[in-house]
Structure 1
């Protein structure tokens, strides 16, 4: 029994050894530089739309569409809608502004006339 436990422990320890990730990881700059300009343009437009609408920017799947091995998974990822990120601080500010009493809009001519009368 002890040899089996030691063999299993050795296998576990081998799995925990550090593996060089450098060759496997590409930076975003390298990915964009090597991609077709149409993909880069689509990624830029998508990133802006995601950021403006309060979603986290996630455009990696657009670059993965070019890779035959990743294309099917990337297409499923692109089709899936991203959840919006809720900003509690911004939401509280919006509610505060919405609940504040509204001032009556005043015509510019009327405001100028009042200032003239007071002056």
Structure 2
């Protein structure tokens, strides 16, 4: 991928995220028929997975910082969703369309659980 293609991909996703703040399904539907999706992402699922990757990278960075700031992992995820409503709405819509994207939700929850640390109700006595 060239720098030019990377910038095109980022601009395409930014435009989608912006449109998704008011109509996430409409943003996905308009992207689905776009030649740019084929050229930049391979197919619609490639686009959805790229959006998912963007979210997970932002979440991981926020969780790393939260550990230093003594903030809860669940609060960090909620704050990130509030700060990025278009992206979160796209991912929720994408999870309804793609089994692969939906499966990644479990991985996200696992990541949040790891950062949250052990919970008292889940501990066993050895």
TM-score, length of structure 1 as denominator length: 0.29
Q: Which has the higher contact order (CA 8 A, sep 6+)?
A: 2
TM-score, length of structure 2 as denominator length: 0.28
Specify which structure has the higher proportion of helix: 2
